[in-house]
């Protein structure tokens, strides 16, 4: 092992040269792990214990942690430099060789310890056990080579796995005022420095960071969380505790902490059945009851606390939610992937977003493309599938380049694309969700009491099963591809989609006396025939607010080209903890344009 004065890995490269690929050059900073996948067959039980015996058939070693993010970015065709800490052991040397094969330039800070490894055992692809080993250790200081690499980077991705590289002296200070920075945080790591371009916590991390008493409470100079593997010193049971200050504010309660066990010999005080509960504040906003709504609340807190340009909370099969400073967050639904492997999806998301920022994309476009890339990555087998493909294809294998936004549409197309002509896709079946509308009777006349009653019954059934209720609305006069994509994307946000439809009188007030072209009953029938729509309810007012008060959905999904004007639905949903989210805009689709084009052709 190298001496304490020189912790650099002997096989790591250190010359951080100029970029050569033509795409934006990316520097990844973070902790390196060695992932091993062992797959085999179980055909017998051990004679000495009632446990299965796994006969190894295939074993693959691959870079994990920040190494996976770097390898993915290199497979996209970028010049990638990884600033990390390698141990001087067999695991460290194997990682250096794997990353060199992947085309990743290494700048090693040195690790005074052993390589952290995660070994996953599976039988026929089904996970059996994960074994963790390796203690990590002290990370060396930032080197001149690391500073030089960051200096020419077009973007920086900090992939923090809580093992010390992101917290190394000088890293946070060096990132200020430089290229765009994507920070992928970890509960055991440090919070992002103020001013990062994009932070990408997952839902659990966002909830923990958003807790004012939890990790990451301060964006500037926050410290790492206590290591849960370190045993605290024993408490003296005979010691007298210090006197408690009656005026002191008690420390915040950790929502993840396990409460102390109740003494079974202590009788709790009797509850007074006549006691009046404390009055509920009618102005208080109830806590969000849907994961997407909770993510929106946490993203808003973190963006303000970390002074970030944007925060994208990744939500697994639900996609991602982005708070970019506007009044309403943007939801990017994920494409359903049955049987996929989500391992590494967060690294795929962060690497794609950072790469597109390096190419000059805006955070909204980068987060949208990153959601789509992560969906494809999961469907293709996740990190293990990527390792198998690159091992089979050899060094230099390249993935399809993520789509970049056009000049006319910085928000790009929606994740729920329109199926090709002649092909019918039931997106609920693809997502493995229930289909409340399957086998139902024909829709009642638009605006009828039976119409709304059916919707409320479906909502009650879905909510009883813990489902998320999504609502969206509009005129839907001359249904077009943009409408269908928006409805598909809205359905992917939850478990049941209700369409609030402007009736004929409402459309005339909004669009003029010549509209609608299609009466409400026919518009409702066409919408109800879509696989992604569970119920259609018409309303006669200018806005659906009164109808929403009765239906009480968890989410209101707003499609189209939202210009930032106040949205009355937002205030209504917040009364019961619901949220309004934006869906990606579809450029080039407009009912008004279709009508004008038809009139022009008829006149010519």
Catalytic (active-site) positions: 347
Contact status, residue 539 vs residue 476, Cβ threshold 8 Å: no
Contact status, residue 365 vs residue 408, Cβ threshold 8 Å: no
- What SS3 class is residue 390? helix
User: Residue 150 half-sphere exposure, CB side, CA atoms within 13 Å?
Assistant: 24
Give the orientation angle of helix 382-393 with respect to helix 66-75, to 10 degrees: 50
Q: Which two tokens stand for residue 589?
A: 């689709």
- C-beta neighbour count of 478 within 10 angstroms: 18
Measured on CA atoms in the order 510, 514, 519, 525, is the torsion positive or negative? negative
Pick the closest to residue 440 from 430, 429, 450, 427 (CA basis): 450
Q: CA 422: distance to chain centroid? A: 33
Tell me: cis bond preceding 94? Omega within 30 of 0 counts: no
Q: What are the angstrom distances between the C-alpha of 484 and each of 312, 328, 478, 487, 528? A: 25, 22, 11, 5, 12
Place of tokens 């909830």: 207
Q: CA 502: distance to chain centroid? A: 33
3-state SS record for 425-439: CCHHHHHCCCCCCCC
Encode 154-183: b = buried (16+ Cβ within 10 Å), e = exposed.
bbbbbbbbbbbbbbbeebbebbeeebbbbb
């Amino acid at each position: 092992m190298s001496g304490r004065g020189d912790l650099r890995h002997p096989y790591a490269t250190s010359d951080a040269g100029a970029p050569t690929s033509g795409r934006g050059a990316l520097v990844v900073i973070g902790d390196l792990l060695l992932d091993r996948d062992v797959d085999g067959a179980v055909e017998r039980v051990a004679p000495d214990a009632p446990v299965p015996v796994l006969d190894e058939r295939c074993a693959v070693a691959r870079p994990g942690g920040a190494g996976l993010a770097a390898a993915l970015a290199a497979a996209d065709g970028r010049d990638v430099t990884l600033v990390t800490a390698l141990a001087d052991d067999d695991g460290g040397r194997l990682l250096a060789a794997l990353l060199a094969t992947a085309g990743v330039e290494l700048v090693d800070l040195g690790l005074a310890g052993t390589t952290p490894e995660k070994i996953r055992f599976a039988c026929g692809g089904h996970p059996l056990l994960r074994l963790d080993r390796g203690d990590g250790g002290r990370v060396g200081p930032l080197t001149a080579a690391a500073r030089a690499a960051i200096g020419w980077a077009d973007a920086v991705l900090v992939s923090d796995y809580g093992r010390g590289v992101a917290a190394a002296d000088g890293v946070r200070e060096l990132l200020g005022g430089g290229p765009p920075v994507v920070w992928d945080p970890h509960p055991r790591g440090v919070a992002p420095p103020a001013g990062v371009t994009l932070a990408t916590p997952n839902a659990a991390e966002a909830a923990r960071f958003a807790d004012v008493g939890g990790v990451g409470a301060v964006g500037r100079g926050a410290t790492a969380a206590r290591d849960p593997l370190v045993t605290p010193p024993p408490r003296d049971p005979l010691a007298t505790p210090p006197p408690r200050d009656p005026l002191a504010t008690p420390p915040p309660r950790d929502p993840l902490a396990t409460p102390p066990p109740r003494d079974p010999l202590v009788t709790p005080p009797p509850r007074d059945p006549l006691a009046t509960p404390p009055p509920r504040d009618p102005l208080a906003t109830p806590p969000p009851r849907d994961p997407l709504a909770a993510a929106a609340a946490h993203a808003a807190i973190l963006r303000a606390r970390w002074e970030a340009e944007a925060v994208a909370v990744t939500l697994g099969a639900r996609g991602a939610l982005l708070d970019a400073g506007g009044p309403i967050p943007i939801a990017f639904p994920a494409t359903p992937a049955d049987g996929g492997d989500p391992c590494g999806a967060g690294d795929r998301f962060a690497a794609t977003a950072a790469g597109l920022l390096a190419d000059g994309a805006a955070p909204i476009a980068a987060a949208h493309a990153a959601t789509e890339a992560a969906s494809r990555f999961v469907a293709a087998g996740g990190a293990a599938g990527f390792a198998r493909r690159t091992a089979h294809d050899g060094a230099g294998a390249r993935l399809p380049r993520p789509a970049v936004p056009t000049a006319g549409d910085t928000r790009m197309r929606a994740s729920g694309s329109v199926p090709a002509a002649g092909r019918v896709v039931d997106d609920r079946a693809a997502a493995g969700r229930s289909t409340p509308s399957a086998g139902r009777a024909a829709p009642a006349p638009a605006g009828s009491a039976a119409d709304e009653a059916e919707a409320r019954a479906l909502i009650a059934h879905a909510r009883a099963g813990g489902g998320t209720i999504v609502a969206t609305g509009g005129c839907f006069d001359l249904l077009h591809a943009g409408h269908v994509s928006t409805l598909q994307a809205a359905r992917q946000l939850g478990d049941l989609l209700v369409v609030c439809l402007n009736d004929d009188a409402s459309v005339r007030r909004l669009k003029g006396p010549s509209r609608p072209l299609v009466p409400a009953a026919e518009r409702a029938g066409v919408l109800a025939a879509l696989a992604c729509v569970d119920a259609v309810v018409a309303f006669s007012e200018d806005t659906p607010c009164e109808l929403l008060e009765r239906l009480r959905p968890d989410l209101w999904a707003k499609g189209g080209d939202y210009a930032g004007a106040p949205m009355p639905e937002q205030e209504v949903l917040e009364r019961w903890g619901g949220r309004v989210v934006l869906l990606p805009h579809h450029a080039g689709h407009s009912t008004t344009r279709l009508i004008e084009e038809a009139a022009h052709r008829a006149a010519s």
